[in-house]
Chains A and B, each alone.
Chain A
Amino acid sequence: MLEFIKQPWPWYVAGPIIGLIVPALLLLGNKPFGISSSLRHICAACIPSGIPFFRYNWKKERWNLLFVLGIFFGGMIAAYFLTDPGPVKIAPQLATDLAKQGITDYHNLVPADLFNWHSLLTARGAILMIAGGFLVGFGTRYAGGCTSGHAIMGLSNLQWPSLVATICFMIGGFLAANVLLPWILSL
């Protein structure tokens, strides 16, 4: 059993469990599944700066902050206790593509060749980590949700605006991964 758990989980095991978080949060307290809101609550709690968008009772949404804290601990537990050491298996075509650009370390889910403290001050690292993070935070709030709030929760509830958002997430992602990223990685 533990041997199975320590392997990467196939999509048909993980996907349905992720789907079950939707009814779980509804039954546990009438909460809609959504993660990017946590970033807004952090702003409202720490740096509201008198901005109307951050002037609401964030304490009422504390559950969401606890939920993301749990995700942090979950990542820790999975990485330190439930994973066999060894390289991450990736698609051969991707390995070929990335090797051309000097990315050959597959020992972490977050590639150490790209995401490390030293590369933070290089153009490549700053674009991926600082600019990339900014786009994630700005874009999700502008769109009113992320993969969890729109793609999973919104589509589960048959909301067509969420379908529009999800299609736009994918268009942006295709563009960045295929057009922008090869250029950024060559910096």
Chain B
Amino acid sequence: MIKEDNKQFPKPSEDEFTEEPAADTGKEGFHIRFLIAGIIFGIVFTKAEVISWFRIQEMFRLQSFHMYGVIGSAVVVGMISIWLIKKFHIKTISGERIEIQPKKFNKGQIFGGLIFGLGWALTGACPGPLFAQIGTGATVIVITLLSAIAGTWVYGRFRGELPH
């Protein structure tokens, strides 16, 4: 029965998660650096007011350059970083070769992109800022987050019937 389900929902090629057995990453110490990276990122998000509903409205109403400056300069720094990593074959701190999966095009980027854009302007938050907003004390955003989790679940449930 489960195997038949799998045939009805073929794994799209853009699917980045596989069912390979987990690598030896069970030790807590391995993960703590990502918690710290998240904390730094959450502080920057909040201090830059990227998590502000007002900033998102200003962006979409073309009333302020702030968000364009943040995203634009982030992309420029990210681009230079990846270029340097590739050019000098820089490895991870544990000596692995850095590999970045290419993004494959499908219609989901159009339909899903438009749908997410609507939600972004209404809630004033993309997924990252939702977590930071709750941290700043806006407890009701827990409901928005749960609703976003529900949205992800519904997508997973019906993805076989959606155009991709």
Q: List 29 A-B contacts (CB under 8 A).
A: A17-B44, A23-B82, A28-B33, A29-B34, A29-B94, A36-B126, A53-B155, A55-B19, A58-B17, A66-B32, A70-B35, A70-B39, A75-B134, A106-B54, A109-B46, A120-B140, A129-B143, A132-B122, A135-B118, A135-B122, A138-B152, A139-B112, A140-B116, A143-B116, A146-B127, A161-B104, A164-B113, A173-B60, A173-B121
In the complex, the answer to whether B149 meets A11 with C-beta atoms within 8 Å is no
Using known A-B contacts A32-B100, A60-B22, A147-B128, determine if residue A19 contacts B64 with beta carbons closer than 8 Å.
no
Contact with A along B57-76 (1 / 0, CB 8 A): 11111011111111111111
- For residue A133, which residues in chain B have a CB less than 8 angstroms away from its CB? 119, 123, 130, 143-148, 150-151
- For residue B60, which residues in chain A have a CB less than 8 angstroms away from its CB? 170, 173-174, 176-178
Assembled-state Cα–Cα distance A108/B148 (Å) = 22
Question: Number of A residues whose C-beta is below 8 Å from B?
Answer: 139
In the complex, the answer to whether B49 meets A47 with C-beta atoms within 8 Å is no
In the complex, the answer to whether A19 meets B154 with C-beta atoms within 8 Å is no
Using known A-B contacts A29-B94, A67-B35, determine if residue A39 contacts B143 with beta carbons closer than 8 Å.
no
Using known A-B contacts A39-B127, A139-B112, A165-B109, determine if residue A72 contacts B138 with beta carbons closer than 8 Å.
no
Known pairs A29-B92, A60-B22, A147-B126. 18 more at Cβ < 8 A?
A14-B48, A16-B77, A28-B93, A43-B149, A57-B18, A69-B131, A72-B134, A75-B134, A109-B49, A110-B141, A115-B53, A115-B144, A133-B123, A135-B116, A136-B123, A137-B151, A140-B152, A165-B112
A99 contacts the other chain (Cβ, under 8 Å)?
no
Residue ID in chain A nearest B65 by CB atoms: A11
- For residue A169, which residues in chain B have a CB less than 8 angstroms away from its CB? 113-114, 116-117, 120
Residue ID in chain A nearest B48 by CB atoms: A14
- For residue B70, which residues in chain A have a CB less than 8 angstroms away from its CB? 11, 14-15, 18
In the complex, the answer to whether B124 meets A138 with C-beta atoms within 8 Å is no
- For residue A20, which residues in chain B have a CB less than 8 angstroms away from its CB? 77, 81
In the complex, the answer to whether A159 meets B42 with C-beta atoms within 8 Å is no
A5 contacts the other chain (Cβ, under 8 Å)?
yes
DSSP class of B's interface residues: helix, strand, loop or mixed?
A: helix
- List residues of chain B with CB under 8 Å of any chain A CB: 2, 5-6, 9, 11, 14, 16-23, 25, 30-61, 63-79, 81-82, 84-85, 90, 92-94, 96, 98-106, 108-128, 130-141, 143-157, 159, 162
Using known A-B contacts A15-B70, A57-B20, A114-B53, determine if residue A74 contacts B117 with beta carbons closer than 8 Å.
no
Assembled-state Cα–Cα distance A160/B81 (Å) = 18
In the complex, the answer to whether A144 meets B81 with C-beta atoms within 8 Å is no
In the complex, the answer to whether B58 meets A90 with C-beta atoms within 8 Å is yes
A86 contacts the other chain (Cβ, under 8 Å)?
no
B126: contacting residue among A16, A64, A70, A136, CB under 8 A? A136
Assembled-state Cα–Cα distance A29/B105 (Å) = 26
> Which residues of A (43-102) have their CB < 8 Å from a CB of B?
43, 47, 49-64, 66-80, 82-83, 88, 90-91, 93-94, 97-98
